[in-house]
Structure 1
Amino acid sequence: MSNKVGDKDDDKVRLDKWLWAARFYKTRALAKAAIEGGKVHCRGERCKPGKEPRIGDELLIRIGFDERSVVVQALSGVRRGAPEAQALYRETAESIARREQAAAQRKAGALGVQTDGRPSKKQRRQIHRFHDGQD
């Protein structure tokens, strides 16, 4: 009898619960807040936390700087280990390439412009001349 309840529970699961079970967010509350904040799109549209994802649905999930495009492979409302959670979805190849490119750009930008500190008196004069010539 409990199997029927478990099967029914796996057939219909809320989106916030699925995101939590797939380990995209640490708590269901964070998953719900992300969905309500427009950080999760299902089939290209904003959705509600109570939406029921279906196998084959494409989700666009934005977490911090990363934006992942995943396809739902299985449904689960139970949070398990990372290997089992990764079996619930498949990230698209384009998404992986975009994330790697964005990470490389962030890493390159993190180096930024290296300076020796405050400009010298001569450099300040040059800056002022440059700004005065812009007007």
Structure 2
Amino acid sequence: MADPQPAAEPAAPVRVDTWIWCVRLTKSRSLAASACRAGHVRVNGERVKAAQQVKPGDEVRLFHAGRERVVVVRRLIAKRVGAPVAVECYVDNSPPPPPRTDALAMGVRDRGAGRPTKRDRRAMERLQGRMR
């Protein structure tokens, strides 16, 4: 069987919002453009607009979904590709994601038990870690 051919590299430079979407760092191009407008995208340390061009060797920092992604552009692509091909287009230097915390223990009240008393509320807050 023949290996699937990766997308051909474009001759022209690619917009940063398009590239971020193509390599699957964001779910949609509009989210990538919104991140650029909000100042959550930096190329080589500088905030950029969505139309900024990227080239191989550029460091792209994206703060998205509560996490910072730091990637170095290895290859330019102009069309969205599958995840295995997308990973080949950048070098991921991101810090490891924060550990997932289990759901905090919550005080569960029986249905129809009425409003919690002040004592019950304080016990629930203590369980949730909101008490001083």
Same fold flag (TM > 0.5): yes
Residues 61-103 of structure 1 show CA distances to partners (whole Å, capped at 9, x for unaligned) of: 11111111111110000111111111111111xx233x2xx2x
Out of 96, 101, 104, the residue aligned to residue 111 of structure 1 is 104
Question: Do structure 1's residue 58 and structure 2's residue 64 form an aligned pair?
Answer: no
Unpaired runs of 5+ residues, structure 2, are 1-7, 110-115, 123-132
Paired residue total: 108
| CA shift for structure 1 position 42 | 0.8
| CA shift for structure 1 position 13 | 0.8
Unpaired runs of 5+ residues, structure 1, are 1-5, 124-135
Q: Distance in 2 between matches of 1:82 and 1:57?
A: 21
Computed over aligned residues only, the root mean square deviation of the Cα atoms, in angstroms, reads 2.5
Q: Distance in 2 between matches of 1:116 and 1:80?
A: 45
Q: Percent identity?
A: 34
Instruction: Name the counterpart of 1:127.
Output: none
Alignment of 1:1-135 (within 5 A): 9-92=10-93, 95-97=94-96, 99=97, 102=98, 104=99, 107=101, 110-111=103-104, 118=116, 119-120=118-119
Q: Evaluate the alpha carbon distance shift between residue 111 and residue 61 of structure 1 in structure 2; reply closer, same or farther with a 3 A threshold.
A: same
After the TM superposition, which parts of structure 1 deviate over 3 Å for at least 4 consecutive aligned residues? 114-119
The answer to whether the Cα contact below 8 Å between 1:11 and 1:75 also exists between their aligned partners in 2 is: no
| CA shift for structure 1 position 111 | 2.2
Q: Distance in 1 between matches of 2:11 and 2:19?
A: 10
Q: Distance in 2 between matches of 1:17 and 1:10?
A: 15
Higher percent of residues as helix = 1
Q: Distance in 2 between matches of 1:116 and 1:36?
A: 42
Q: Evaluate the alpha carbon distance shift between residue 48 and residue 90 of structure 1 in structure 2; reply closer, same or farther with a 3 A threshold.
A: same
